[in-house]
Amino acid sequence: MAHPKEERTLVFVKPDGVQRSLIGEILQRYERVGLKLVGVKMLVPSAPQVEKHYLLDPGWKRAAGEKAIKGYEEKGLEPPSREPEEIGGRVLENLKNYLTAGPIVLMVWQGAHAAELVRKITGGTEPLRSDVGTIRGDYVLDSFQMADQDKRAVRNLIHASGSAGEAEKEITHWFSADELVKYRLVGEHILYDVNIDGILE
């Protein structure tokens, strides 16, 4: 079994994050927890690239629809439809407009529990309800309700893979093997080595 420190996850700063000048702040949050940046690039994604990215997970449309319905119900509001696949399909169309609007910054982060750790630091999908202290909770204020009313995707600064399995597919979708760098960070000694030695003189 691969060591947990080998786990990798994909993050991208969405066009709103780039426009808000938050690239450095976002990168720093993942860097300071101890994760290692092993790939990074900026590009303007095409609509087919965005669609393929989300549909790498065959259950995504339904899950996104169910999350939206739950969000409405928890606020005592009536969802625009009761059909998760239909809501998920609408979300995907809006996402294509949102993510192709300008450059995004893609990053691959490696380290123990990388996928779960990055999701925790990133925060929940809807910024209105994301925890304080998470990136989405601290730097933006959008809601499902406002996005729906204005017929657009929720602006939440970041994409982060949902699991290590999803991450591997997403990394292959956006990066070629030679764009990922294999190297050692000196700090990994303190994070992972069984014996912390060679420090005292």
Active site residue 159: yes
Residues 127, 17 contacting (CB under 8 angstroms): no
> Is 95 one of the binding residues for ligand ADP (CB under 6 A)?
yes
Among 121, 147, 167, 171, binds ligand ADP (CB under 6 A): 147
Contact track, ligand ADP, 65-84, x by CB under 6 A: --xx----------------
Which is closer to Mg ion, CB of 124 or CB of 162? 162
Distance from C-alpha of 11 to C-alpha of 46, rounded to nearest angstrom: 17
> Is 154 one of the binding residues for ligand ADP (CB under 6 A)?
yes
In the numeric block, which tokens belong to residue 157?
A: 């600064």
> Is 156 one of the binding residues for ligand ADP (CB under 6 A)?
yes
Which is closer to ligand ADP, CB of 76 or CB of 198? 76
Residue 74 sits at the vertex; the CA angle it makes with 71 and 75, to the nearest 5 degrees, is 90
Nearest to 122 by CA among 51, 200, 17: 17
Distance from C-alpha of 163 to C-alpha of 170, rounded to nearest angstrom: 10
Return residues touching ligand ADP (CB under 6 A): 64, 67-68, 91, 95, 125, 144, 147-148, 153-154, 156, 159, 162
